[in-house]
Structure 1
Amino acid sequence: MERISIVTEFIFWGLTHNPAVEEVCFVVFLFFYTVIILGNLLTMLTICMVDLLKSPMYFFLNSLSFVDICFSSSTAPKLIADLLAQNKTISYEGCILQLFGVHFFGCTEIFILIVMAYDRYVAICKPLHYATIMDRETCNKLLLGTWLGGFVHTVIPVSLVVQLPFCGPNEIDHYFCDVHPVLKLACTDTHLIGGMVTANSGTITLGSFVILLISYTVILVSLRKQSTEGRCKALSTCGAHITVVIIFFGPCTFTYMRPDITFTEDKMVAVFYTIITPMLNPMIYTLRNAEVKNAMRKLWGRKVYREAQGK
């Protein structure tokens, strides 16, 4: 289909039309985004400087923190700026780029969470073979697979949307460009495309959710054979992972596992997987992890000592 479009920009409705609420949301989301950037950067810096990258778990955690920064940056800066703007506009090209970023980094994060679950499964259920199975070459291939999988997934909805004609109206009832809100504005029948998008995104979301639940169920069942100390440590790690999975996949499933229909609640639901989860990830994975906390104490304690010695 040749794309013939009159629309050159879109207008977001945003989260609310109440100026007082927008000012409060501006402060709240600016704080959230600052925590996302600083928290994930601190996690990455600690893992790299204390040489934890040789451990597969921290190797993937480092990648998760990087993806969280990219994922939230696809929507949060625009949302924050729009909360104080009179005209919440975005160009057609910017909309497509935002659509690509949300799906690419979001899907990549899903696959990284699956890989992290597999890593914990091998570590807990096959500890004697862990070093052999999760060697550096395997970890690199798994990480590359997450990025390639995210890209392949993203090509489908983006390639479908760029073919559509847009001739007005151009108001999107959302705070970022997502597939279903954009499809509503197309000047053609989008039921088939909407079904394809739902099949693509919905299958990945629900399928990954089921895989993760099965993986952690198997892990939890296998913990009966562990010692009390090992069981507590494994439960703490898996508990953190399960918390992230529920917070991330619950809203994603609500959004993408349904026909081409949009609800007013979609905007608030989207806040959970675009902002809340990237903010909670560094807290959950670091504050509940004794090794990372000790590494942070050593790293920043050493830095303070050097600064004191320099004076």
Structure 2
Amino acid sequence: MSTPVPSSIDAALELLKGGDYIADRSLATVLYLALKLGRPLFCEGEAGVGKTEIAKVLAATLKRPLIRLQCYEGLDVNSAVYEWNYSRQMIEIRLAEAQGVHDRGQLAADIFDERFLIRRPLLEALSPHAEGAPILLIDELDRTDEPFEAYLLEVLSDFQVTVPELGTIKAAETPIVIITSNRTREIHDALKRRCFYHWVDYPDLKRELEILKVKAPGASERLSRQVVGFVQELRKLDLFKAPGVAESIDWATALSELNALDLDPRTINDTLGVLLKYQDDIQRLQGSEAAEILRKVKSDIAAQPLG
């Protein structure tokens, strides 16, 4: 049985926290409004800041099905909405011919029946579900091209799609829609206007520590503070790809698996591949620069102990 949507901003915060998602109040506010008013939530931000996780947590905490449309260049209607099961249709035609059926109109009606319809994520999200309206995650929309983005307007405007052979299929219950973008290109205003918008930023030091406490419980408080301090300093640099929260969690987890109790230059050099994903960034940090950042982080921690 599904859980009711939150009735307040505080309830939205608690809902996310119940799924181990440490959110700030601005995200909880826009999420509450999106759920209350039945509007899609459009989340933009750097990769690894937790945009996709919002939909996963909602599905888990609200006990709803999660239907994910992973976007990519060249995504089309057949992959995103529906297609016909041509092999089964051909078998049906052969069987009809063997039985002496020659009424083409009747045959066409038989083979273009919902029995032969393969429901891809968008159409599946409009279908009835016993658990209630599903969570539809349209992930990394910026990877698609503009024609597909334009196609989404019908879905997000009226929550319906048109299958020429069957007509218009409208959602019996409006799905909860979360759209994410890494902002590799701008999404058209017409689509954004149909959504509530939230920029998912990197967390501040205190909130990132709370996240590591939940997501990387094996790391000691001392190590977690050093990891977060180091990562926060890296985000100030002009790197090709700054580490996101996901990388902070991975690094803290990896370090705890290595039984590290304290960051040191050698450990950092040996594990930078967990934190950074581009060789140019790794080469830049290895050695003296990483050591200098670590000295600053340890000095800051000593000067301002976290209360």
Could you say which TM-score interval applies, normalised by the shorter chain? Answer: under 0.3
State the TM-score, normalized to the length of structure 1. Answer: 0.22
Pair member with larger Rg: 2
Greater percentage in helix:
1
Greater percentage in strand:
2
